[in-house]
Every structure is written in C-alpha cells, then in structure tokens.
Amino acid sequence: MLPDQLKDHAVASALDAAFPGAITGGHTERNEPTLWVAPARIVEVCRFLKDQQRFIRLSAITAVDWLPADPRFEVVYLLHSLERNQRLRLKCWLSESECEIDSVTGVWRTADWYEREVFDMFGVRFRNHPDLNRILMPSDWEGHPLRKDYPVHGYKYSYQDE
C-alpha cells in the first residue's frame, strides 16, 4: 500500500499500479524516496523498474541488521536511473529464521558481488545466485562479521575473553 507521501512520485505510483500489493510502505526522507517491497516479489519489481522505468543502474545492494527487532534484516537495493537522474531505494525485511530472498543477478549482473558480500557479512542467502560464496572473508570463516551480535574483535582473537 502506497503511502500518501509517495502518491505523486511517478515511479512509485506506476509500480503500485503494475504490482498491487508488492509495495508494503515507504517514505521520502531528505528527498530520498524509499519503498518497502514484499520480499517474495523483489525480482519482478526490479525487472519492471529496469525495463519499464529505465533504472538501468544498480548502485549497490547492502543490508542493515536491526537486532533485536523482528524481522531482523533489512536488505537495501540502491537504484539509479541515468535518464531520469533519479535515485530510488528499495527495502526488503527478512526475519532471522528465514533470511532468504531471490537473487536479482538475472536483472543486473552487478548484483552478483553485492549479494555475495551481503551473504558474507550478514548471512542472508540469495536463492538462484550463480555462485553464493564468501567474497571478502576467507572461505572457512565462521560467523557473519557485520551482524550486530558479532564482536568487533571477532571470536577467536578477542582480548576481552582473557
């Protein structure tokens, strides 16, 4: 359901018309529009935004851990349209028990590394990703460092335990 704040936003209203129910909320803060998207529909929404609304660039994908909130993870898609000179932020909420979402690598190839980074750092899994492995941490690393319950010094080398 589209919030009043974004009713005049051309892209948001077109998206809401094309996929009723896919947008679960949103807001405009400091001139930056944000849309909350139902996680199950992220791929079709992204496909529509890229093909119909000319958001040909995906700047990045990242996540925020809102421990102890539930749903805990917020996956953030940072979109950019060169033609419109506009940016748009999509967000999906994922709970800890089912932190899985469909991969958008089929829409933008650049999503590949960003999704691997989110997996590496937060442990969010991306379904249908071609090669979902750790990217920055060593492949045998335990834990996901950017989670809020992961200590800054790590588990292994923390001087605080001594």
Place of tokens 């923390």: 158
Minimum distance from residue 99 beta carbon to other proteins (Å): 16
Contact pick of 14, 18, 56, 132 for other proteins (by CB under 8 A) = 56
Compute the least distance from the CB of residue 14 to other proteins, in Å: 22
Our finding on whether 152 is near other proteins (CB under 8 A) is yes
97 binds other proteins (CB under 8 A): no
Smallest gap from Cβ 20 to other proteins, in A, equals: 27
Instruction: Give yes or no for residue 28 binding other proteins (CB under 8 A).
Output: no
Phi then psi dihedrals of residue 128, to 5 deg: 65, 20
Provide, rounded to whole angstroms, the least separation between the CB of residue 148 and other proteins: 8
Q: How far apart are CA 5 and CA 28, in angstroms?
A: 7
Q: Toward other proteins, which CB reaches closer, 40 or 67?
A: 67
The nearest distance, CB 17 to other proteins, in angstroms, is: 26
32 binds other proteins (CB under 8 A): yes
Residues in contact with other proteins by CB under 8 A are 29-30, 32, 34, 56-60, 62, 64-65, 76, 78, 82, 85, 87, 89, 108-110, 112-113, 121, 131, 134-139, 145-146, 150, 152
